[in-house]
Structure 1
Amino acid sequence: MKTDETWHWLELWERARDHALTTDEQARLNDALKNNAEVRNLLAEAALLEAELRSGSLEEAPVSPAAGSTSPSRSWASRVAQVVLPLAAAIVSAGAVWLLSREPAPAATLTKASACKWGNSALPTLEGSSLQPGMLELLDGIATLKFASGAEVALEAPVTLEVVSAMECRVKKGTVVAEVPPQAKGFTIHTDETTVVDYGTRFGVSAGEDGKCLVHVIEGLVEVEHAGVKGRKELRAGQRVDYGGFIQSAANPDANVTDSQPEPGRWLPSPINDLGDGWQILTTAFGRGKDSWIQSNLKQDVTGRESYLRIKHTTHDMNLDRKAYVAFDLTRFADKHIAEAEFTLHVEPSDLGFASLVPDAVFSVYGLTDETQDSWDEKELHWSHAPAHSMASEHRTGVVEGQALKLGQFTVPQGTTRGGFTVKGPAVADFLRSDTNGLATFIIIRETDETARNGLAHAFASKENTRNTPPMLKVRLED
């Protein structure tokens, strides 16, 4: 075979391994492998040489072989005949060149996946796994992907994401936060109807299955293109665009619930339940029970009919602090001695803010000791007039001294979207035993700040929530 022919076939072989052949070139190479023994032998030798170089087994040939030893050329030929030629024959019988192809480089690496629960994922979900293009479904927790381009994308459960390439991914539903270094400029996130192109920044994307999409820029600059909207829109730090009213639907996901929809497929407690052995469960749906929340934005109206209790603390925006108020009707326990007590809230996925910007969050629970304030109304509760609260800065993450008593704390790990969180112990039981008006009000405040503006507003199920357990009080009674 002439030198120029040799280089021609080696070049085609190399391009085949990089998946860079045209249709005509692939057909020509397949035909040569099938009908030309010289080409088969040439490419087989090239494959063996690369294999030996990779394994480090290729030894330097002696200048003059010792007597009785096999010459390097004969040894080479022998190995080709024994190992590579059968491989070439297999290639020919398959009629394809894919066995000569390199395995494509991974598009991303799963660098963090602590306390994650995965759904129907086509890709490996162990921390440290290399990821080819494919789908990931995260049900709980926060996972971080580092793309080969250098871009990092945090997945905030629940979310379904498709890894497309080193420079792009697609959010089917859910929320992600991307941090893109200069070398990955141009990294792109797609949703069903929106494309976000980064120019070295940090930004978040939330997408719904109904086509709604929210893009918020934390730092830097992005360009956004949306189906049906002419041209691209530039967004800089602090700016956002909301296609389809995503924020409104996130704020009240039960707004479209109708009587024709099926009942929730999970157990929900009755307003009051006898568990035996003196234990009873009471929720805010019983009797005079009530639950609501307040926000430091004085223009924000809370009706008390929201499906979530929103709780947040931030030093980055004076309008976005939130506290929750929960009251239980204790009249059923009037003649009983409360020996033990537990207060529980159930966290729910929140579509307001980014979980990546809030570390493990500590919540404090207070009991309202000034019973003259127990008559608060869900519909009228407001930041300007709420129990054990004032508009002074020190009360954004606290209560008015002498009007409420701290009962305990609980911690919600970063990215957690399901589960109950409980405060229990003598302080809770003592608080309930001290009641004289048949109503017990609990105040819940988040102590933990966000690391940047627009961090997560935690959500807990209220008595209006159709999918989860409302605020719950579990007590053990003694006669």
Structure 2
Amino acid sequence: MEPSELIQRYLLGTLSESEVIDLESQLASDANLRKQFAIAAATDAGLRELAIQNSMEPPVVAASTTNRNIWLLGWCAMAASLLLAIVLTTGTNEPQPIAILSTSENAAWESVLPTTVGSNLVAGQMKLMTGIATVEFGSGAKMTFEAPAQFELVDAMRVRMVDGAAVIDVPESAHGFVVETPGGYAVDHGTQFAVSVKESTQTSDFEVLQGEISVHHPGRGEEVRLFDEEFASLSNDVLSAHPGLSSEQEYDQSNAAGPRLFRIGTEGRADYVIRNNRRGKWIHPEMLMVKRADSRRWDMRAFFSMNISGVDLNTVSTARLRLNQVPSGKGFASRLPKLNTFAIYGVTNPSKEVLRDEPTWEDAPDITDGILLGKFDIPRSQQTGTFGIQSDVLLEFLRSDADGYVTFVLIRESGLIEGTDRGLVHAFANDAHPEVSGPLLEFTLD
């Protein structure tokens, strides 16, 4: 039955109980239908007013007409009551938050849901265009998405992956958490696992990092259980499980889904120095600051070290050094050129590869202790973003390392265009930064 006919019959009082329930359901979910109902109710309200006026006049018409007006008045009152109930009901049935956006690293979104850190998230779709972001569900489950990724938040215990990759951490409170993908779904049984979905081929890969999950293919009625370091592939046609691989085997074998990305951080081996050797309150452990000023007294340079002993560089096709820029809150950008150049050096002097506590300007690694690996530019108007270098020179520097540790020096080459100081201090995240990651070496393995 058409909604308009349901409304008409409701006002006429000829709907059955089930039809009334059907009408209420449609009104609750359709704003346009509620408008249509309101117009119909308003029309009956006019008839009600007419009935009231007629009741105040001496009866000059037949009793049947008076009864008809009273009958219409009763149904108009019922219509008004239903309209009020629908308005009140829909007002209290607003979507409830099921998760929060807990972290965001250089993220850009396409989403009608809020995308600032700390925002409450209701059910809906999100598309992460760049960066990394973590969503914490009300159940306690956490999903860290890596761009590009598209997904739908269903409820506190369920998410639908449309495209991209994510790592899921599931505490005891969220056991049974479900990740839907093309062709099937995975159920957590207390674990940390990863999922990668290719929308173009409608395929999914699941890998258990620690714990246990079950992967289901409803179309074929199949299920597999996966444990530590085991993985499975899922498509509309096939569900296949694979045994776990050791770290060495992972380097020796190509990933079925394509090149494998491997990241290494500094593990806290990072610092910066000021030419005047001020430390204490002048050093911010969550940042790596660089500056060049004409006065030279407040020049700053940063340095950091990474352990690459666990990487088989013979299997590496590309290497990239990534830095996340963050606001320093120090100095004025207008005193700098519109475009500022930064340089990264690789330390080749063995005596400067070991970082000291409380380093001074004189004993800290410097550009004279190594070779230039690459440069990048940042507009003075920009104070956040991801920057770095990727080159054959960087890869050759890494391959020439003898002891498994590599050290880098970061400087800003651009100085001031006016004044002698108070120019902007550029800052990049250190490992202690609360929102974004510190320096990273990213390897693409063949």
TM-score tier after normalising by the smaller chain length:
0.3 to 0.5
The TM-score, its normalising length taken from structure 1, stands at: 0.40
